[in-house]
Each structure stands twice: as structure tokens, then as C-alpha cells.
Amino acid sequence: MTAMTIPPVQDETSAPFWDAAREGRFLIQRCPETGRFQWYPRAHSIHAPHARPEWVQASGRGELLTYSVVHRGNQRGDPYVCALIRLEEGVTVFSRVEGVDEADLRAGLPLVVAFHQLDETTSLPVFRPRTSA
């Protein structure tokens, strides 16, 4: 797998997300007025723009929506899987899928979050096959 080497630029809004990721927890945001989830994290709720979203821990479970295996591109190295994952909470996130042969990739594949430590300050969430519900 091609190494992930680009660190996210963390900011005031995203700090809780990256702090939790370092501890192996995947947070998403919920609107305090409508109860609806949102991804990606923002300083406001897209469902009620004057409201500040609250952080909640996601189940970390989801399923593969679609994917593309990058064979040649900006990054040189082994192929890697870019994917959209639909979380159980109903939001879609973009990430990588690891630990699956290309031939076994298919829409609907059950996945669970895992974490890649990039450096002391950053762990990146990725997704791996889920063996049991």
C-alpha cells in the first residue's frame, strides 16, 4: 500500500476530531436542533446554520458504497483503494479501504474503522473488512 504522508492541517473546529482519532475513536457531528448527523465536520450545522454542531462517537461501522483502485496517479507505489463508505449513522465518508484483495471489493462490503498513526499528533481513520456484526 502506498504510504499516506500528507498530514491534515488541524484547526480550531477539527481539533476534537483529531484528538479522538489519536485515541482510536471516530467522531461525527450532530445538529442539536434537528438531531441530524453531518459529515464533514464544520463550525456550523448545515441543517440549522445558526447552531453549533455537537460531537458524537460514531459506531465506526459502515459499508462500502463505491471505490477506485489507484494504480497510477499522483502517488507512485503499490495500488491503494480510495472509497466512499456509508456509515451506519447515514453519512458518507471518503477514506481508504485496507486488507481486502481487489477481486473481493464490492458494494455493500461490511467495513469497520481502524486507525493509522501518521505521526505523534495524527492518526488517520481507514476502513477494514468487518468479520462479524
Q: Please give the residues from 84 up to 123 whose contact with other proteins meets the rule CB under 8 A.
A: 84, 91-96, 102, 107, 118
Dmax over Cα atoms in the chain, in whole Å? 46
d(CA 129, CA 108): 11
Closest CA to 38 of 18, 11, 58: 58
The only residue of 66, 88, 99, 121 in contact with other proteins, by rule CB under 8 A: 66
83 exposure class (CB count in 10 Å sphere: 0-12, 13-18, 19+) = buried
β-strands 122-129, 110-119 pairing: antiparallel
Tell me which stretch binds other proteins (CB under 8 A): 29-37, 50-58, 75-83: 75-83
Query: What's the closest the beta carbon of residue 126 comes to other proteins, in angstroms?
Result: 8
The residue (of 2 and 129) whose beta carbon lies closer to other proteins is 2
Given the rule CB under 8 A, which residues bind other proteins? Answer: 2, 4-11, 14, 39-41, 65-75, 80, 82-84, 91-96, 102, 107, 118, 124, 126
